[in-house]
Amino acid sequence: MKKILVIRNDKIGDFMLAWPAFAMLKLSMPDSEITALVPSYTKALAELCPSIDKVLVGCGKDADKLRKKALIDAIKAERFDASICLFSDSYNAMLVWRSSIPFRLAPATKISQFLYNHRIKQRRSQSAKPEYEYNIDLVRAFLDTLAVTAIEPAAPYLAFSNDVKAAQKAKLAEALSIQSGVPWLYVHAGSGGSANNLSLTQYADLVSGIVAEKTMEVVLTAGPGEEEKAAELQTLLGKKQVSSVVYDKNDGLQDFTRSIACADAFIAGSTGPLHIAATVDVPTIGFFPAKRSATPLRWQPINSAGKHLAFAPPKDKDKEVAADMSKVDIDAILPDVNAFLARVI
At 194 the pLDDT is 61
| Residue extents of the structural domains in the chain | 3-145, 162-344
At 114 the pLDDT is 86
CATH class of 3-145: alpha beta
DSSP, residue by residue, 16-62? HTTHHHHHHHHHH-TTSEEEEEE-GGGHHHHHH-TT-SEEEE---TT
Strand partners, 290: none
At 193 the pLDDT is 63
Q: Please tell me the distance from the alpha carbon of residue 237 to that of residue 214, in angstroms, as a whole number.
A: 16
Neighbouring CB atoms inside 10 A of 78's CB total 15
At 137 the pLDDT is 97
CATH of domain 162-344: 3.40.50.2000
At 195 the pLDDT is 66
Taking the chain (345 residues) in consecutive chunks of 10 residues, what is each chunk's mean pLDDT? 94 96 98 97 97 96 94 97 94 95 90 88 89 97 97 98 98 97 96 80 98 97 94 98 96 97 97 97 96 91 98 86 92 98 97
Same fold, 3-145 and 162-344: yes
Model-level pTM greater than 0.85?
A: yes
Listed residue (7, 300, 271) closest to 138, CA to CA: 7
Listed residue (168, 157, 155, 164) closest to 256, CA to CA: 168
Helix (H, G, I), strand (E, B) or coil at 265: strand
Q: Please tell me the distance from the alpha carbon of residue 101 to that of residue 87, in angstroms, as a whole number.
A: 17
At 309 the pLDDT is 98
Name the amino acid, one letter, at 14.
D
Contact 300, 133 (CB under 8 A): no
Helix axes 200-211, 330-344, angle to 10 degrees: 50
Alpha-carbon distances of 327 from 99, 250, 271, 294, 295, rounded to whole Å: 48, 34, 19, 16, 15
- Please tell me the number of Cα atoms within 13 Å of 287 on its side-chain side: 28
- DSSP-derived letter for residue 226 is -
Containing 247, the helix (H) or strand (E) segment is strand 244-247
